[in-house]
Structure 1
């Protein structure tokens, strides 16, 4: 690819129109949302309105110092659907199961 083509691709992907196409859990059924996370391994999904989060299949998709926490999101069929996990950096008080 030429530099111009790469630049055009980067501008297109960074445009608001490309970002506005983020898939939302509220448009999916609970099994569909869970399946997307399972297939992708790690993915950013909208969770209703302007909110979003990054969901992961397992700890392999987190930074080496991060752990997973069960993640629930609203879906079309379930207001509190378990769709995977989120990554978090444990704090001082988190080492005894308080997270």
Structure 2
């Protein structure tokens, strides 16, 4: 019984440690968006598309490469904020192969 209780407690602690905060960058200044990401390491930013009314957009934004998964690289992205349409932030992406290199592999 103690083992089951201990396992349940450890699972709960692990789940809390992996929780990621969510924010609407359009309600924050660009400086505050960047400071929040720097402080927390990784956050989810959710906002409405300007091209398609009613379409919510969201992604995970990171402070540094260490918050990216294996095989991903940190790349610059832009989100709208309360004071600018293009607040620079970073996301994790899988690198794309050079088109020529990819075409060559497919032909071989």
TM-score normalized by the length of structure 1: 0.68
Q: Which structure is richer in relative contact order (CA contacts within 8 A, separation 6 or more)?
A: 1
The aligned counterpart of 2:84 is 78
Q: Any runs of at least 4 consecutive aligned residues in structure 1 with deviations exceeding 4 A, and if so which?
A: none
Higher alpha-carbon Rg: 2
CA RMSD of aligned residues (A): 2.5
Alignment of 1:1-99 (within 5 A): 22-48=22-48, 50-82=56-88, 84-93=89-98
TM-score normalized by the length of structure 2: 0.62
Unpaired runs of at least 5, structure 1 = 11-20, 95-99
How many residues align? The count is 79
| Structure-1 separation of matches of 2:42 and 2:71 | 16
